[in-house]
Amino acid sequence: MARKTLLLVPVLTGLALPAAAQTALTLNASGAAQAAPDEAVANFNAQAVKPDAASAQAAVNQDVAKALADTKSVPGVVVTTGGYNTYATTQDGQMPQYTAEQSFTLTQPATGGVPDKAFTSLLAKLQADGLLLNGLSGGLSQAGQNKARRAAIDDALAQLRAEADGIAAALHKKVGALKTLNVDTGGGPMPPTPRGIMMAAAAPAPQFAPDKITVTANVSAVIELTPGS
């Protein structure tokens, strides 16, 4: 009887080979950009204390209305009114006194955040009229904020890429696909620090030169690392 030889040949067609192991790298980076202010921003507060709430409110309304009328004489000034508050205080059993308050903000386009003479003269006039200057600062317009925010994001992304490249090289891997990317710019501009501001009791026009404004952005990403060559 003839002998038969049986050859067993493995069939691999249709069977998936195990994929090469991949590493998911999670990174966070904080970017920042500095921008010269392009607006001058002054914050005021009108306040009146009277024996009754109606009188206090009427006095504040009159002061704010006059201030708004005065600002119309200065080109480019935008006025934004803020919170309005009334409260009562009593001392040593005396009749209560009512305080009314309202805030408002003056904004003027200004190169470097330095206001012009007309704006600073307006601030001095408002102070002489009894209004309280709570702060004078340089600010960024919406266009200025958008430009600085993009620069901060670019800075964060550059840091993230550099860190990913360094880690991949240390692990003898290569940077692969970007799986997720989150960008957070909720920090907003950080107010500049005044270089100098002079306000005497007679409320002269303030001298002001703000520093640059810092805008920040936080970026987080999940990046795939693939086997190196």
- Final residue of a structural domain among 139, 172, 194: 139
For residues 106 and 78, the answer to whether their CB atoms sit within 8 Å is yes
- Final residue of a structural domain among 82, 111, 139: 139
74 and 149 co-located in one domain? no
- Is residue 222 in a domain? yes
94 and 49 co-located in one domain? yes
What does the pLDDT look like over 183-223, one tens digit per residue? 987 756 665 544 444 443 344 545 566 788 999 999 999 99
Helical residues (DSSP H) of the chain, grouped into ranges: 53-71, 117-128, 142-170
203 and 226 co-located in one domain? yes
Q: Which CATH number characterizes residue 175's domain?
A: 3.30.110.170
- The rounded mean pLDDT for the chain is 84
158 and 229 co-located in one domain? yes
Higher pLDDT, 15 or 74: 74
Say what the pLDDT of residue 5 is: 43
149 and 68 co-located in one domain? no
What does the pLDDT look like over 34-60, one tens digit per residue? 999 999 999 999 999 999 999 999 999
Per the structure, how many domains does the chain have?
2
- Is residue 9 in a domain? no
What does the pLDDT look like over 119-146, one tens digit per residue? 999 999 999 999 999 999 999 999 999 9
- Is residue 8 in a domain? no
46 and 135 co-located in one domain? yes
- Is residue 3 in a domain? no
132 and 163 co-located in one domain? no
Close Cβ partners of 132 (under 8 Å, ≥ 6 residues apart):
44, 45, 46, 47
Token pair recorded at residue 203: 């409320």
What does the pLDDT look like over 84-123, one tens digit per residue? 999 998 887 788 999 999 999 999 999 988 889 999 999 9
Q: Assign 16 a pLDDT band (cuts: 50, 70, 90).
A: low
Phi, psi of 217 (to 5 degrees): -150, 135
Say what the pLDDT of residue 210 is: 75
Q: Assign 151 a pLDDT band (cuts: 50, 70, 90).
A: very high
Q: Which CATH number characterizes residue 122's domain?
A: 3.30.70.360
- Is residue 112 in a domain? yes
CA 4/CA 138 separation, integer angstroms = 96
Q: DSSP class of residue 111?
A: G
Say what the pLDDT of residue 177 is: 93
128 and 152 co-located in one domain? no
Domain containing 49: what range? 39-139
- Is residue 56 in a domain? yes
- pTM of the complete model: 0.71
32 and 56 co-located in one domain? no
Residue type, 147: K
- Final residue of a structural domain among 114, 139, 164: 139
Q: Coil, strand or helix: which one is 112?
A: helix
Question: Average pLDDT in the 14-23 region?
Answer: 58
104 and 43 co-located in one domain? yes
Say what the pLDDT of residue 95 is: 87
- Is residue 80 in a domain? yes
- Is residue 7 in a domain? no
Q: Assign 20 a pLDDT band (cuts: 50, 70, 90).
A: low
